[in-house]
Every structure is written in C-alpha cells, then in structure tokens.
Structure 1
Amino acid sequence: MTPESPARTLAAHQERLRLPWWAWPATVVAGAIIATELTLGLPDIPGWPTYAVVIPLCLALMLPLNRLRVAVTPTEFQVDDARLPVAVISDVIALDAAGKREALGVGAHPSAFVVQRPWIGTAVQVLLDDPQDPTPYWVVSTRKPVELATALLEVSRRERAESS
C-alpha cells in the first residue's frame, strides 16, 4: 500500500468532543444574568442592546470548546492541532472516571501532554517511547476510551511492523 492511496489516509478512529446539550441553555442564562447586572449597574444604557450584545457574545465564547477533534490515522494520533506519530506509542491505557482522576491528580507528571474536558468522564493515557521527546505520556478525554485505545494500539503495531 503506497502512502498516497486513499486507504492509507482513512481514520481508524474519529470523534468530536462536543459540549453537552445543557451547556447551551446554561450559557444563555449566564449571559442574561450578566446583561441584567450590566443594565442595573449602568442605568443610562437601554436594556435591550445589552442583552442583544452579551448573550450572543457568551454563546460565541463557547464555540471553541465545541470543536475539539480526536482522530487516529494510519500514521498519527491527532488531537485538535497536536500530532503524534503512532510509531512512538508504546502502550495505551483506557481510563474510566476514577483512572482519569488519578492520571490527572497529584501524581501526574508535569511534562505530560493533557487535553481533557471536564464534562467527559473517560480518557486514554498514551505512553510514549521517544528518547528525543521529554513528554512521558498523553492523557486525552474521549467518550469511547476502549475503541480509541484499540485503534491506537492497532495502528501503532502496524506502523512499527512496516518500519522494521
């Protein structure tokens, strides 16, 4: 299989870590509270323009939190803009909520690469074997930790077998 072939570029795993449904109404309520506070604190400004500006602004500030993409391609692990060659992955551990809490807790390595979303309880821990990179592991939130761990291990083993 050549690197240019379409099968080589297909993602083995792909998901988008979106906000939960309740975050959007909560944001509208928070924006309304902020607009009310501004209206009460600045009585010279009419009320409706404050709401018309603050609520959409609050919603716009939530958009970046809704776009995180996690994907496993045949050659790399992609988390938003970060890229990790699968050849340097030594092991992958699927973490439940307690495991994620432990991996991100007091004993966490300060050089670890962490992309976590508090509203997603599960994650994967990707252990690295790259002597030139000081990062010992990645911890990435995912709603499907077993599927992601399986896909990462599969493509990593395949890449290592092809390179040797």
Structure 2
Amino acid sequence: MTTYHERLWPALWIPWALLLVIPASLLVLEPVSWLAGAVTGIVLYLGSVGLWIASSQPIDVFDGELRAGRARISLAFLGEAEAIEGHDAFLARGQNLNSRAWLLIRGGVADVVRVPVLDPDDPTPYWLLSTRQAKKLAAAINSSRRPVSGHPAE
C-alpha cells in the first residue's frame, strides 16, 4: 500500500525553452536543406523532451520503504523526518549540508525533507529530498516507521 507518491519533474518551463532547438537547427542546416533542418530540429526537440521526462524522479513511501529515485531504504532504519521550507530549506541544501548526506535535489523545487539514517553500518547521516509537499512527505515517513529488532528507532 502506497502512503505517499510524488514525481519530481524538472522545471516546467524547460520544454518551452527547448523549442528553440528547432529554429536553431533550421538556421544551421538551411544552407544544406530546409527540410533537413526542420527534421533535425524536430528530432532534437523530441529527444530533449524525452530526456527531460526521463530525468524526473519518483519519491514513494511504500511497503515499509522510502524510495527516492533508484535508492531505497527501510523505514525501520530512519529517524524522525523533518519538513524544511523557505529560507531554511535553502540553507539545508547549501550552507548547512553535510557532504556525506544522500541527496535527491531538484533546482525548481524549494522545499526539502531531511530524514536521519539510524543504521550504524551506514555512513550516510541523512537523506535530503526535494519535495513540493514537504509536510505530507514527512508525515507519511513518520507515520509508517517501525523499528527493526536490534536497531534503535526514535
């Protein structure tokens, strides 16, 4: 049962900006062939939008795990998730960032959730995840956590 799902899309203005690849291709290839420029521009645009779509990352709280992109960790090894918004989120992504933290950051997403990793065998102190719904994600993680025997839980 999924308790939380979000897909982190890169900035939504990017596909519109990528449209500029079409006239650029026309300008470059027009001396050779107008048709070659148009076809190349359209192919480059579609490929760029495909990469834009492929670069979106899911965040899920599902079946006792936190899944962020391709990474997964059992909720039993996580501490209390903290929603960080506004200027504090800016500081958490920059000045206050621990270099050993695991990151899933998107530039167009202002808020983050910090989740401490309690596993003594894991050198990562915390996960820092960009999210458009920081309070909901933190609440989903916190309400789904269950300790594993032999490991501490907050």
The 8 Å contact of residues 80 and 116 in structure 2, kept in 1 or not, is answered as yes
* Superposition TM-score, scaled by structure 2 size: 0.84
* 139-148 vs 47-56, which moves further: 47-56
1:97 aligns with 2:86: yes
1:57 deviates by 2.2
104-113 vs 18-27, which moves further: 18-27
- Residues 36-69 of structure 1, C-alpha deviations (whole Å, 9 max, x = no match): 45326xx334432332322222222212123x11
Higher helix proportion: 1
Matches within 5 A, 1:98-117: 98-117=87-106
After superposition, the Cα gap between the structure-2 partners of 1:105 and 1:37, relative to the gap in structure 1 and judged at 3 Å, is farther
Task: Give the AA of the match of 1:141.
Answer: S
Q: Note the C-alpha offset of 1:112.
A: 0.7
Q: In structure 2, the residue corresponding to 1:91 is in which secondary structure?
A: coil
Q: 2:32 aligns with which of 44, 69, 78?
A: 44
Change (3 A) 1:135 1:34: farther
Aligned length: 148
The corresponding residue for 2:9 is: 18
Among candidates 129, 149, 160, match of residue 138 of structure 2: 149
User: Which residue of 1 is the match for residue 49 of structure 2?
Assistant: 59
Q: Does the aligned pair in 1 maintain the 2:69–2:104 contact within 8 Å?
A: no
| Partner Cα separation in structure 2 for residue 95 and residue 36 of structure 1 | 45
Summarize the alignment of residues 129-148 of structure 1 with structure 2, pairs less than 5 Å apart: 129-148=118-137
CA–CA separation in structure 2 for the residues paired with 1:86 and 1:61: 31
CA change 1:19–1:109 in 2 (3 A) is closer
RMSD: 2.1
In structure 2, list runs of 5 or more residues that go unmatched: none
CA contact (8 A) 1:15 1:69 kept: yes
TM, length-normalised to structure 1 = 0.79
Task: Check the 8 A contact 1:128/1:136 in 2, yes or no.
Answer: yes
C-alpha displacement of 1:113:
0.4
